[in-house]
């Protein structure tokens, strides 16, 4: 083993020891804040295609509610803007912006334990046939809902130590 390899090896060991010493724990590991979240959150029933895609992704990430102790309420707002325009004023791309406002309520007490909002955006092509454009738009909506669901999941996991115990 060369001296540079030994230094790298020793630095790696030191870094591992430092992570343990700073209180780092995986959120789903033993004693982790999010360990008991799987199946503990019921998401309000969807009524639109966007809401369906959002709830589907949230349940993939958080688990289907089996012994739900919390209810996640949400409101989705979206808007589109032209982002690619030709010299003849034809739109070639659109951006889809979304904001998801959420409230997590403890079922037993009715107390709001976490709330907030997340935003994201995606874009899609407006070129091609009518069917291709419609398919692109539908896919963009689905991708936006997945992005928003992932952001909410991250926020819930990050805040779980305050309310999931």
DSSP assignment of 72-116 equals: EEEEEEEEEEEEEE-TTS-EEEEEEEEEEEEEEEETTT--EEEEE
**What is the residue extent of each domain of the chain?**
33-163
Question: What is the rounded CA–CA span in Å between residue 62 and residue 42?
Answer: 9
Stretch (H or E) spanning 163: helix 130-163
Q: What pLDDT, on the 0 to 100 scale, is given for residue 109? A: 96
pTM here is 0.80
End-to-end C-alpha distance for the chain, whole angstroms: 47
At the top level of CATH, the class of 33-163 is alpha beta
Q: What pLDDT, on the 0 to 100 scale, is given for residue 121? A: 97
Q: Is the distance from CB of 109 to CB of 21 less than 8 angstroms?
A: no
Q: Show pLDDT as tens, one digit a residue, over the chain (165 residues).
A: 555 566 666 566 555 555 555 666 666 666 666 677 888 999 999 999 999 999 999 999 999 998 899 999 999 999 999 888 778 878 888 999 999 999 999 999 999 999 999 999 999 998 889 999 999 999 999 999 999 999 999 999 989 888 886
């Amino acid at each position: 083993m060369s001296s540079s390899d030994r230094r790298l090896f020793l630095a790696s060991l030191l870094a591992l020891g430092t992570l343990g010493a700073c209180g780092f724990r995986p959120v789903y590991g033993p004693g982790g804040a999010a360990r008991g979240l799987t199946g503990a959150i019921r998401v309000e029933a969807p009524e639109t295609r966007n809401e369906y895609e959002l709830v589907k992704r949230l349940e993939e990430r958080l688990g289907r509610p089996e012994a739900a102790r919390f209810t996640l309420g949400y409101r989705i707002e979206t808007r589109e803007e032209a982002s690619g325009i030709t010299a003849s004023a034809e739109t070639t791309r659109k951006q889809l912006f979304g904001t998801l406002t959420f409230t997590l309520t403890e079922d037993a007490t009715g107390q709001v334990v976490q709330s907030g909002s997340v935003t994201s955006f995606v874009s899609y092509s407006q070129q091609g046939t009518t069917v291709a454009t419609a398919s692109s738009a539908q896919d963009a909506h689905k991708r936006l809902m997945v992005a928003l669901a992932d952001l909410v999941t991250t926020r819930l996991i990050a805040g779980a130590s305050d309310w999931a115990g």
